[in-house]
Amino acid sequence: MRSPPEERKLQGRTVTSPSAIEAAGLGEDKGRSLVLGIETSCDETAAAVISRHRDGTGRILSNVVRSQWDAHRAYGGVVPEIAARAHVECLDAIIGAAMVEAGVGWPDLNGVAATAGPGLVGGLIVGLTTAKMIALVHGLPLFAINHLEAHALTVGLTDGLRPPYLLLLVSGGHTQLIDVRDVGRYDRLGTTIDDALGEAFDKTAKLLGLGFPGGPAVEAAARHGDGRRFPLPRPMIGRAEPNFSFAGLKTAVRTAATAIAPLSEQDVADIATAFETTAAAAVVDRVRRAMALVENRRQVPPQGHVLVVAGGVAANVRLRAALEDLTKGDGWRLALPPIALCTDNAAMVAWAGAERLARGDGPDSLDAPVRARWPLDPTSPPALGSGRQGAKA
Ligand code: KG4
Ligand code: ZN
């Protein structure tokens, strides 16, 4: 008979350094598990070690992220083959750095977790294969993690927040509203029918001749602009289903820019501001709709209704302010993990693995596959009118 996962993991543990005992708190609480996480689904190579306590709280012992922006900048976007090669080149060193920074050795770990999808297949193979090798060599349970689930559960690590809550995931590859009912129970309420929000930021930046990655560049330009000069269409506003669409907005930006080319610095700032304010207004409208759906679905939970925001676009100050406003009063509050944990990182992957370990869910077998697409809610119908690239998950 197998013992419960947390106990099983503690058997035969050898703690290699006094700092590890202190850092991981193993001396005071044997109910703590340590998980190594690996993230390689896009253009960030990341490794992290986290601890999860018996009471469900967690701590980050190390969180190492290396971005590949320089490798992709010349192409104005992420090139999958370059990304995969860059992951191969530095992943071992990143994992080594995460282990050293955490002050732990292999025997201290209770599990290894790696993103298995959705994402770019080449990169996913690099990360998952490395995790499998570590699991095999060190006799650790392997967790093949859904990247979206890792984003969805991050607030458990950062804020000690447990489901249920409403999640707005806004990144370069995803724009989704998910009702996180419990760990492992996700209902997708809405998704983008064409571009992801981060993708729209990146394409707008490219169009305006701003840098890569586009989000921060558009945001910087939008600080000095007058958004009223270019009225842009507000996609999907008022629709019953909380889906998103950003392709039309992007086209409207192109039309506005082409009409007045060549663009002065002020023109760029004004268009960037118009794009950012319109996108934020569209997101607010869709989230408001999802909040109403959640209110209809369940009583106010003991912690109140919570809107959690994750993904790289959560760094956008204008969007954050708009969401703060939206959740003021009415029994709602906003939970925003620190920006470094909103963007892609491995602490969230390790945490998702630790949650599964704690629930006795898994481990996965060493032939677990990578998946380019992996919806968090397999029962959700495809969003109507899915565009050329479809909903990315
Ligand atoms: O979550 P993330 O790091 O990677 C994935 O796409 O999974 O998100 C990256 C995206 C990019 O599209 C980037 O342009 C956008 O987040 N982003 C921003 C900002 N910072 C990053 N978008 C708007 N404003 C920002 N400050
Ligand atoms: Zn992500």
pLDDT of residue 378: 82
Count Cα neighbours of 213 within 13 Å in the Cβ-side half-sphere. 22
Total count of domains within the chain: 2
Residue from 313, 320, 349 to probe ligand 1 pocket by mutation (most atoms less than 8 Å from CB)? 313
Instruction: Verify that 345 and 278 share a domain, yes or no.
Output: no
Centroid of ligand 1 to alpha carbon of 361 (angstroms): 31
Instruction: Verify that 79 and 53 share a domain, yes or no.
Output: yes
| Sign of the CA dihedral with 254 first, then 259, 261, and 263 last | negative
Report percent pLDDT > 90 for the chain. Answer: 76
Domain for residue 2, yes or no?
no
Q: Quick check: 51 and 33 in contact, CB under 8 A?
A: yes
Query: What number of other Cβ atoms are within 10 A of residue 217's Cβ?
Result: 21
Domain for residue 1, yes or no?
no
Ligand 1, atom 14, lies closest to the CA of 215
The confidence band for 379, taking pLDDT boundaries of 50, 70 and 90, is confident
Q: Which domain holds residue 290?
A: 165-336
- Rg (C-alpha) for the chain, rounded Å, is 21
Instruction: Verify that 178 and 127 share a domain, yes or no.
Output: no
The confidence band for 30, taking pLDDT boundaries of 50, 70 and 90, is low
Instruction: Verify that 153 and 169 share a domain, yes or no.
Output: no
Instruction: Verify that 238 and 280 share a domain, yes or no.
Output: yes
Instruction: Verify that 329 and 386 share a domain, yes or no.
Output: no
Ligand 1, atom 18, lies closest to the CA of 215
H/E run at residue 236: none
Domain for residue 125, yes or no?
yes
Centroid of ligand 2 to alpha carbon of 150 (angstroms): 9
Predicted model pTM:
0.86
Domain for residue 143, yes or no?
yes
pLDDT score of 393 more than 70: no
pLDDT score of 22 more than 50: no
| Sign of the CA dihedral with 136 first, then 139, 144, and 148 last | negative
Per-residue pLDDT of 50-65, as tens digits, reads 999 999 999 999 999 9
Instruction: Verify that 195 and 208 share a domain, yes or no.
Output: yes
Domain for residue 3, yes or no?
no
Instruction: Verify that 205 and 281 share a domain, yes or no.
Output: yes
- CA-197 nearest atom, ligand 1: 12
Instruction: Verify that 175 and 227 share a domain, yes or no.
Output: yes
pLDDT score of 77 more than 70: yes
Per-residue pLDDT of 276-292, as tens digits, reads 999 999 999 999 999 99
Instruction: Verify that 153 and 75 share a domain, yes or no.
Output: yes
Ligand 1, atom 23, lies closest to the CA of 215
Lowest mean pLDDT among 140-144, 297-301, 383-387: 383-387
Which CATH number goes with the domain that contains 263? 3.30.420.40
Residues with CB under 6 A from ligand 1: 42, 171-173, 198, 201-202, 213-216, 219, 311-313, 315-316, 343-344
Instruction: Verify that 104 and 199 share a domain, yes or no.
Output: no
